[in-house]
Amino acid sequence: MRYTFFQDVVVSSIACSFFSLSTARTIEKRAAVSTLDPPGIAGWLYKGCYSDSDASRTLKTGAHFGDDVDVNSCINICSGQSYVFAGVEYSGQCFCGSYMSDAATKKSESDCNMACTKNATQACGGGGRINIYYLDGATPAPQPSKPVTNPGVDSYSYAGCYSDDVGSRALANRIDPPSGGDALTVAKCVDTCKTAGYSMAGVEYSGECYCDNKIKSEAFSDDSKCNMVCHGNSSEFCGGPGALNVYTNGTVALPSASSSASSAPSASASLLAGWSPQGCYTDDVGKRALSYAIQISSTTVEKCVNECSAAGYAIAGVEYGGECFCDNVLRNSQGPAPDGSVGCNMACAGNSAEICGGPNRLNVYSNKSLVASSSLSSTVASSTSMADSSVSSVTSSSILSAVTSSTSSSLASEASGSSSSTPVSSSPPSTSASGSSSSILEPSSAPSAVPPSSSALDSLSSSMSLSVSSSSTIASASASAVPILPSGWSYGGCWNEGTSGRALPNGQPDSPTNTIESCIAACSSLGYALAGLEYSSQCYCSSEYIENGGTLASSDSACAMICSGSAAEICGGPGLLSVYGSMTPVPAPVPVIKKTGLPQTWLWKGCYTDEDGNRDVGEPPIGVKNEYFTENSAEYCLDQCFQQGHDAGGTEYGKQCFCGAASSFAGAKATLLGDEKCNMLCTGNASQACGGPGTLAYYVLQ
């Protein structure tokens, strides 16, 4: 491994930190993960660690994502849907397939080193790496034909692959076909734009459709970047990350190849003294590499670095063309992108000659001058111990501990027993490197989260602005952008995210054009009564309740991030939801385990441990293709088990039901837990608890 001067300083500094903190805390190593080989599912074998990417999925079907993923649970899902391949990736992603893409290449087992979200001892792939398992003896389906670029459709001809970015769209108008982005094809996008009266259509990132009568003149052409297949037709391409396949009816001029080539991003930037580029790094919306978002207009590398530096941070990162993040440590096991700089391919919104990351990719910059042994003498990586898995290991990055002296002093007080230290994740540093106040989204004239009445609209000024401490305007919008809510809908307050899952569990795709109106429309069209906007570009829905421990924030002003699609609207914040509803949002009732009034002669026995591949109580009821029930409850599950002649049954993970023999359970060596571990809402009865993650609410028939 090649070490930079910066990394040498970090390593030596942390070594000193270990001795200085030895009397204040215990530094523990995280348990090493290992590949599950063989898996615990009969007939399945391990194939190896393989490459994977958004543009070319090794296994085509995304089966499950989140906190309930390990090897056996993924195999069970894929097997239940008759797939012959299963793969786990990036800790919490499960993919299935009838074949493996021939674009996948076998990689070193050490590349698949991320712990599974459900079982931290198992390896679940990595960034761009997937552990593949297969059904022994099964015949894979044939590889589909290679995707091609559609030459044209419905009098529109192909014009080329053009760059695009969030802050300055090549084609300005996002219009999804009636069937939605999940079924997008070139023909559907072209027909949509043609019907709307536009002469140009563009498809991007597999599921996005854009229309216009002109194309941004500085957009450049590069066919290699339009490499993602359409969601609705895997035989044709629908753009790529920050790239559009463009179609035109021939009535508009397009940038020439020579002029567009000169506009290709060069990724160069003039940085402040002491700052230097560190490369392209992985990121994830739910597990940010850098915790603190700064909203700036017309993003450039220089602007982001300057704002992070002024706020006292040692690390800055630019992402998706127009996003800026800051921190003093690299978090959530993020690190250098496994595909190098390939994923960092989007031009900066404020300077098309610079690169500002990409989808789930950060161009990272750091300040070496802030890394000094004196500032690390009582610092490891954050206000938690080195064992905290949210902070990446030393070897994953040369920027791990670029920590300011202000962070060092707060840690020193914590190490000595002070209770006044604020956790790193709860707020940004209060000390500024330049002496100015922090520029982390502190609006001087913030957009209102609550849409005004029509009379109030008349009295609004003509524009709204959001400024940082440097007085640079972040975003502005006319008052006409303030939304009028649909009939029956109203603002329900700023809510804290859930503690054991999403407060509004039904997430919609992240959108660079997210607004209050678009989120409500999406949730309402799916039959949901609540809509919540979070972290600028996220939209979540729920039928009735604020779930999983979500609570009302102390003040509406806590939700302070402007919407990605409108600078005049507020879309929540980090871990905060701006909630709207056709009913008043209230926390879900605390579920209780059903212990009395059970059907037949069933008796409650307790909350026990359980695991995939070694079930305490048999398997799902006979004839059920998978183990998930939308109507699950104690009564429902136990009725199923009784009708099929079982004398033991149990509910798990809210939606699972298992039936078997009490004698088998006795030999399973399950551990009795406290009732509080079986705490997940039953899918068929929100007042009941149906087990939990890896915990079984267990019943026997007397």
Domain ranges within the chain, ordered by starting residue: 44-135, 152-261, 275-412, 467-581, 592-701
Residue 543, pLDDT score? 83
Residue 519, pLDDT score? 95
In whole angstroms, what is the distance from residue 189 CA to residue 174 CA? 10
pLDDT at 24 over 90: no
Mean model confidence pLDDT for the chain: 75
Q: Backbone dihedral region of 78: left (phi > 0), alpha (psi from -120 to 50 degrees) or beta?
A: alpha
Sign of the CA dihedral running 589, 595, 597, 600? positive
Residue 99, pLDDT score? 94
Q: What is the pLDDT confidence band of residue 342, given thresholds at 50, 70 and 90?
A: confident
In whole angstroms, what is the distance from residue 570 CA to residue 191 CA? 33
Of 627, 641, 638, 631, residue with least CA distance to 681: 631
In whole angstroms, what is the distance from residue 333 CA to residue 390 CA? 6
Mean pLDDT of 519-534: 92
Q: What is the pLDDT confidence band of residue 85, given thresholds at 50, 70 and 90?
A: very high
pLDDT at 421 over 50: no
Sign of the CA dihedral running 306, 307, 311, 312? negative
Quote the percentage of the chain above a pLDDT of 70: 71
Residue 263, pLDDT score? 37
- The amino acid at 680: M
pLDDT tens by residue, 202-259: 999 888 899 988 887 556 666 778 888 898 898 899 998 778 999 998 766 666 544 4
Alpha-helical segments (H) within 379-478: 405-415, 454-458
Place of tokens 């709860």: 426
pLDDT at 400 over 50: no
Alpha-helical segments (H) within 22-130: 71-80
Residue 621, pLDDT score? 64
Helix, strand, coil share of the chain (percent; to 5): 15, 30, 55
Mean pLDDT of 72-77: 93
Contact present, 321 and 297 (Cβ < 8 Å) = no
Least confident of 127-141, 153-167, 459-473, 687-701: 459-473
Of 295, 234, 608, residue with least CA distance to 444: 295
pLDDT tens by residue, 302-328: 999 999 988 888 899 999 888 899 988
In whole angstroms, what is the distance from residue 338 CA to residue 650 CA? 42
Mean pLDDT of 58-64: 86
pLDDT tens by residue, 112-167: 989 998 888 999 998 889 999 999 999 999 887 788 999 999 889 998 898 887 65
- Choice between 78 and 296, residue whose per-residue pLDDT is larger: 78
- Structure tokens that stand for 454 in this block: 């029509």
Contact present, 482 and 516 (Cβ < 8 Å) = no
Half-sphere CA count of 229, side-chain side, radius 13 A = 15
Quote the percentage of the chain above a pLDDT of 90: 28
- Structure tokens that stand for 269 in this block: 């930037």
Residues recorded for the chain: 702
Mean pLDDT of 637-663: 87
- Structure tokens that stand for 353 in this block: 């000659």
Give the C-alpha distances (Å, rounded to integers) separating 546 from 243, 497, 542, 590, 618.
37, 9, 7, 11, 34
- The amino acid at 196: A
